Structure formats: structure tokens, C-alpha cells
Structure 1
Amino acid sequence: MKKLLFSLLILFSFSGLKAQNLNEYKYIIIPESFEFSKEKNQHQLNSLLKFLFEREGFETLMNKESRPEDLQRDNCLGLDANVVEDSGLFTTRMRITLEDCHGNLIFTSEEGTSREKDYKTAWHESLRQAFESVEALNYNFEADAPPATPATPETAEVVEEAEVAAEVPQEEKTTPESPEKPEVVVQSEKIPEEKAPGILNFEKDGTYFQLQENENGYALFQKGMSEPFALLISSQEGGSFIYNSVTKQGIASFSENGDLVVEHFDASRGVSVKTTYTVKKD
């Protein structure tokens, strides 16, 4: 019993250390693919991880993107993110790890699990569950914080041995098409209604939208308006986009039938919200 209490005490003490350390880092660097992936950004897992970290207030970038000036001057402002999979026949298991510029392990999340059979659903569910460990730290970047104390191999082993997998998946806090504040749309001059090359037409709740391709990805217009209310910036992996509007940030992708699916975090309700724009085919 005493041994168990001692182990838990070490675990809780190290958890507090991890929370303090993460506040000392400004950037999270996301890889294009993970070791267990067969292709870049498979099932949009890398884009989802980037979205989740941005939701918590971190500044993120893909590992092949150009570095901001402060990160170029001091690459120790950033942490390298990774996802480790240890799946069995019926259960998908994932952990999130963060390493500093010296390769020291700074943070290891609790294990996220899923029993879903569909790979994409299982990966997303287990990653979201693992990310709850990051959410619990209440990250807040401290620019003047002293240098972080690297985790030693001994303390890292204590954490890995003490982590307990949650065998029953928790329900995702995703609420498709749930009521929310409407997207801010800038009213301006109308443009011609005819379809132009590189433009895709969509519909949502009786309102029509147009997606116009550009050199960085796409611009999303309410049909008839000359100014876009959102931009979809292509990720280097392809297949997914960073979604930026006046009021929302998130990720976007196209479904198999061509619908535009946007996911963002609604801070007022503490949930992730999916919005689907239905493609209008000729």
C-alpha cells in the first residue's frame, strides 16, 4: 500500500512539473506523418492534432513550414509533437508525446482508446481522448518563464508505468449542425451569378455558397458577395485545410461525395461543432 501511495505521489508531482513546463513553450511542431501511418496526414490525423493544439492556445506549424523569426532565433521555443500507437486486435490505443529541442521527453499524455472498427473514427476518437491530458493542463504561454527542466528517463518511466488506459471510450463532444452563433459575413457588392472556372457551389439551410480556388487553397463566399468570409488554406499533406474566418478557426475537408465539412471549437459551449455545406452538382 505504501509503495502504491509513493508511486502515485511521484506521478502527481511529475504531472505538476509537466504543466509548468508546457507553459514555457510557444510552438508545437506537427509532423507530416506518424510512424504508424501509411501516408501523409492519413485520415486527417495530423490536421486534427494541429487543430486540437491551436484550440488550446498553442501556436502550431507543420514541420516543413518556414519558421517564425523568434523560433529561428531560438528553436527551443518549440516542442516536437508525436503520436504513438499501440493498438490491439479490437482496441485502438494512442498517446501524444512532446519532445524539446534536445530530444528530451517533456510530456506524455494518458492513453486514448477506441473500439470503433472504422479506422478514421477509431483514430480520431482515441486521439481526442488522449488530448484530454493536454486540456487538463490549462496551457498559458509564459514568455519570461525560466528554461524548462528536461524530464529524465527515470521519471518518464514512472509516468509510463503509472498511466492507466481508459478501456471504455468516452462520447465525443462533437455536435453536428448544433445551434450556434452565425458566421460573420461581410456584406459588399454583388458579383455575377454565373458559374466561373474553379468555383464550386454549395448549399446550407437554404443559403447558397461558392468556393473559389486560389493559389493558397480556397476562398468561401456567400453566393452573390464579392468578399469571402472564410479562407481554406491548403496543408502541405493535402486532403485537408486550415479554416480561418472572422469569428472561427478550425479544419476543413471534403467528404467522399464532395460535401465541404468544417469543424471548429465553440468556446462558449465547450464543444466541437461540425458544419456541412452540401455540394450542388450540375
Structure 2
Amino acid sequence: MKYILIFIFALSLQFSFGQTKSLNAYEYVIVPMQFSFQSEPNQYRLNILARVLFQEEGFIVYMDKEEKPLALRLDPCKSLRADVIDEGGFLTTKVKVLLSDCSGNTVYKTSVGVSRIKDFEKSYKDALRNAFESFSTASYTYDESLNTFKDSANDADDISESSHSNLEEKYPNKSIYKFGGESYWLVSNSSGGYDLLSNQGKINYAQLKKADKGSFVFNSKTINGAGYFDAEGNLLVEYMDRDLNGIQKVTFKKID
């Protein structure tokens, strides 16, 4: 009996190590606006809470409807997708958190979080926080050396070094911005506004059309809103997100 218990303990350690090692290979988590058990988006405000809790664990987190960096849009397999499972329970709320890869394989799952609070919203939030306690033993730290994903952002438009030099020469007065781990070039266009270029000038990510009082109409494939520059030269974009039911703001930080 003693040897059986030792074997089971060793096996559980091996499983835990493998799970944590896989988890550390991922930097991003995508949180859906509606988990599989919910009847409406952000029910009990659980999805936004999950986003905050994942951020506290050190992940870079995006909602599924939110603007994402170019590298992540081109290769969704660089991220994990979160789900919260309702385990049910008599007079209790029980949930657990699953993180799955792009093939649907479970990379990590928490223990079941339990709450006995009677109010539904408070109970689900309490249970979710309790489920996240599992991450304290997972010791998550992103390890880039474990990342074996192909860099699709660099392969998306394979051009020669001479072509890249030509782009540098084409936009000598460009300003460089950062957002979501990606670099963007801001260049003037013929209409008196700006073009925001990604992937080292290869892709026209967005256009800024001059409006009034120093503001611009910002148009991209995923964001349509108002843009303006702050005192430090950062580009701030505000837009209405219907899924999040409110005004969202993103900041392109000026680097050069």
C-alpha cells in the first residue's frame, strides 16, 4: 500500500510539472465574453473579472472581441483560450477554470472553487476567485525558451533586406509607436491625415482622417473610433465596444 501511494504521488507530481511547463510556454490568454455555461455575455460580470484575475497572474489578456496585436491575429495558437465550467452543487456554487490551446487540448485546469454565498453574482465571483487560488501552486512565469510557435508576423510578408531598406527610405520622417507588443509606424498621407503601418511598414493597419479640434477619425479593420494625441505624443483611440457595452480606450505609446 505504501509503494502504491508513493507511485500515485510521484505520478501526480509528474502531471503537475508537465502541466505547469506547458502553461509557461504561453504569454497570452483570450477570455470570451460568454462562457459555455452562461446564457448571456458577461453574465454576473464574471468574464471581466476573469480577465482581471488572469492579468494578476501575469498573463497578457484580451477579450475575444477585443483588438489584438498583429502576431496574435496571424497566429492564434500563441494564446490559450479560457473557459469557466459550472460544476453545479446543492446550496453551493462550484466552478473551475480551463485553459485550452488552439487545438482544443486542455493545457491547465484549476481545482473547483466553491462558494456558499446566496446571491448569484456574488457567489459566482467568490467561487471564481477561489478557483484561481490554484495558480498559486502553478508558479506561472512565461518562459520564451518553451515557445516553439512559428513567428507568423515575420513570415506573413517575407521580403528581402533591400526591400526593408526601401521602406525605411520611403518613410524617413516616420514616428514609431508601440501597442500590444507590436511596433507601428505613423506617417503623413496626402489627405492631411496619417497612416498607421504595421509589420515594419508593410501593412496599412489604420487610417487617421483629420476631423476638428486636433482629433482624427480612426479606421481599421477592427476599430472605428476617434483618435487624438496627448501632450507626450501618444496616440489615444476611443471606440464603442458593443460586446463590452461601453467606451474602450487603447493607447499607442510613442517611442521615437
Q: TM-score range by the shorter chain?
A: 0.5 to 0.7
Q: Quote the Cα distance in structure 2 between the aligned partners of 1:23 and 1:118.
A: 35
Matched residue, 2:113:
112
Give the C-alpha shift of residue 243 in structure 1: 9.7
Give the C-alpha shift of residue 146 in structure 1: 4.6
Matched residue, 1:43:
44
Distance 1:39 1:135, change over 3 A: same
Q: Tell me which amino acid in the other structure corresponds to 2:244.
A: G
Matched residue, 2:65:
64
- Structure 2 segments unaligned to the other structure (5+ residues): 150-224, 227-236, 251-256
Distance 1:241 1:132, change over 3 A: farther
Distance 1:238 1:65, change over 3 A: closer
Matched residue, 2:182:
none
Does residue 238 in structure 1 map to residue 244 in structure 2? Answer: yes
Partner secondary structure for residue 98 of structure 1? strand
Distance 1:241 1:99, change over 3 A: farther
> Within 5 Å, which residues of 2 pair with 1:54-93?
54-93=55-94
Deviates more, 1:7-16 or 1:113-122: 7-16
Matched residue, 2:216:
none
Contact 1:112 1:130 (C-alpha < 8 Å) held by counterparts: yes
Q: Quote the Cα distance in structure 2 between the aligned partners of 1:136 and 1:240.
A: 35
Does residue 94 in structure 1 map to residue 108 in structure 2? Answer: no
Q: Quote the Cα distance in structure 1 between the aligned partners of 2:239 and 2:8.
A: 46
- Structure 1 segments unaligned to the other structure (5+ residues): 149-214, 217-230, 245-282
Give the C-alpha shift of residue 65 in structure 1: 2.2
Q: Quote the Cα distance in structure 2 between the aligned partners of 1:76 and 1:116.
A: 37
Give the C-alpha shift of residue 142 in structure 1: 1.9
**Per-residue CA distance 1:249-277 (angstroms, 9 max, x = gap):** xxxxxxxxxxxxxxxxxxxxxxxxxxxxx
Q: Specify the structure having the higher radius of gyration (Cα).
A: 2
Q: Tell me which amino acid in the other structure corresponds to 1:99.
A: S
> Within 5 Å, which residues of 2 pair with 1:113-262?
113-147=114-148, 236-238=242-244
Does residue 30 in structure 1 map to residue 31 in structure 2? Answer: yes
**Per-residue CA distance 1:100-147 (angstroms, 9 max, x = gap):** 111111111111001111111110111011111123323222223254
Contact 1:47 1:240 (C-alpha < 8 Å) held by counterparts: no
Contact 1:44 1:239 (C-alpha < 8 Å) held by counterparts: no
Give the C-alpha shift of residue 72 in structure 1: 2.4
Output the aligned Cα RMSD: 2.9
Partner secondary structure for residue 6 of structure 2? helix
| Structure 2 length-normalised TM | 0.57
Fraction of identical pairs, as percent:
33
Give the C-alpha shift of residue 20 in structure 1: 1.5
Give the C-alpha shift of residue 12 in structure 1: 1.7
Q: How many residues align?
A: 165
Distance 1:122 1:140, change over 3 A: same
Give the C-alpha shift of residue 59 in structure 1: 0.7
Q: Tell me which amino acid in the other structure corresponds to 1:22.
A: L
Q: Quote the Cα distance in structure 2 between the aligned partners of 1:34 and 1:105.
A: 16
**Per-residue CA distance 1:222-256 (angstroms, 9 max, x = gap):** xxxxxxxxx99976533678899xxxxxxxxxxxx
**Per-residue CA distance 1:9-66 (angstroms, 9 max, x = gap):** 2122111112211111111000111122121001110000000111121111111223
Normalized per residue, which structure has more helix?
2
